[in-house]
Chain A
Amino acid sequence: MKTKTLPYKTIMYVILALLTALTLMPLLWMLSASIKTDSEVFSLVFHWFPKNPQIKNYTKIWEKIPLARFVFNSVKLTVIITAIQVLTSSFAAYGFSKCKFKGRDMLFLLYVATIAIPWQVYMLPQYSMMNKLHLVDSHLGYILMQSFTAFGVFLMRQFFMSLPNELLEAGRIDGLSEYGNYFQIALPLAKPSIATLTIFSFVTIWNDYMGPMIYFNTTENKTIQLGIKMFIAQYSAEYGLVMAASVLSLIPVLIIFLAGQKFFVQGVASSGIKG
């Protein structure tokens, strides 16, 4: 392709900068409001940066609601569910791609079929089953419900399918069992896919609203997303505080996202190509 001229590049940068600014505007607005007093938030004269930044909005919110509890719950659930998901689904994906046995593909089809079924369709029977097992309003119930999704198995299988069988054959000749092959050959090579699944699972569970809303009634059990919603309901007029709490809830995701954005891009891209 021919090289682009300087004016062309400048125009492109201007267009991109404008689009990016437009996309980030709501989030920047949230950041700006989070260090304002309430009257400044509602003021018709708008400043991106207030004269008197209210940094103490960020300390006040910890006193108003049990935010530390909510953060702890969210971290706990996210870590446990992500760990179970990565372990069991990479294990299963290996079975679905590298072990040959009767009925394997039928079984996998069952998994894939559930990806297309909206959660709303089986949310209620799932809930009443959990209710029978006395697992509603408990972290265990939520963990069990979220840990075994088809998506993880699907994503990991995509990767193992591309892993050459010769590598595993060589392992077998060297006397490795199938489990040895999985732990010593397949798993180390799957690191990028595992990173992708970890990030996706982390973001999904951290941001999940409907699941915790249905399952958790007790305040001690609630997650950060429910906590912020609760905060909004109680202090709806105090927008500065509401925004500070919202910004706070975005920080862990932002960190994970910036640290692992390469894996994000890979994950999205590979899900798209294979369709």
Chain B
Amino acid sequence: MTWLVLIALILCAACGAPLFVFFGGLALLLFAMVGIDTSAVIIEMYRMASAPALVAIPLFTFAGYLMAESKTPERLVNLSRALFGWMPGGLAIVSLIACAFFTAFTGASGVTIIALGGLLYPILLKEKYSEKFSLGLLTTSGSIGLLFPPSLPLILYCIIARVNVDDLFLAGIVPGILLIVLISLYSIYTGATSKVEREPFSLQNIKKALLDAIFIVPLPIIILGGIYGGIFTASEAAAVTVVYVLIVELFIYRDLKMTTDVPRIAANSMILVGGVLIILGCALGLTNYIVDAEVPAKIIEFMRQHISSKFTFLIILNLCLLVVGCLMDIFSAIIVVVPLILPIAREFGVHPIHLGIIFLTNLEIGYSTPPVGLNLFIGSYRFKKTIPELCRASLPFLIVLLISLMIITYVPDISLWLVRLFRGSID
């Protein structure tokens, strides 16, 4: 009977049942199986209300959606165009930076491609970038800022892995820059060989664009400065961001209207947040069961017999996570897979912060891989292209991302040195 229900659950999830239904159902089943009252599932779910860092998720997402719906994307694109447009491949770098900024704030939920893709795609084509290159660039850019604070997956990882949010925010910065630099190099190479048009360098333009975006540019500095200057916590930083963005968009730029736009955007952004948090709630019961049943310990035991070195472990970890990234969305993957691999990684001497960065980089790649890569679907909807077309277009970018993943995985210091620098030693 239990097995039948289990198979039914898995089948339904594979056919497209909401994932929270799958996790909730599974938790109910497992608790019932060992004879614990099912209200225990809800006790675990209620633990959601005891994680202070969770407060940051709805607030940062709200702020990100507010910016995405205003004219901030245009302002940012204009500014980075003035700054980098004169370089070979400059416009591609512009796209990367603008997309990274938005992904960091909207949590890689596809909003980046919706808000920026439509804006950048015609400009890229106009400056003689090939269609294939432009599509690939914008599709992969939809998740490129994932490692930068205050992205939603970073915060979610901290809550699940019980890592300090401030530490992971620092850890993501250098690997995030590495990803952008490597893709930029590829773009410069493409730009130089295919002779795309460039814009003349003009200090006048930079000044004009900078003045236009003067209220948006300091935002990352306010957030990071506030957190590491000890003025506020990460969750409080999120509230400060919302207030700041509201003031800027409502009263300075006047891009949004208080009575119509704000409630609509709030409700829209909370659909995503509610969707993620309900999965978190349902999966909390499940992870508790997994830990109680000593599943990680059993896997460790098994792995000890077959794997001896940290190096082999990291290779297997990467391969497994790439498969996970292909099959699951990033939020569910963090909630379900992290509790399983965290103790194993510790056993092999991989620091939880480093593991987080490896994990998120892997899943960032998963965003652009079939069959469930969210970027592919949103890109295909936004650019009116078929999924196989987008797959082919993003292939060169995936290769660059894979190379970056190798570097990030096997050189832990890339993730850890900034944390050490600011926080002294890390345990």
Specify whether A and B are partners. no
CB within 8 Å of A: which residues of B? none
CB within 8 Å of B: which residues of A? none
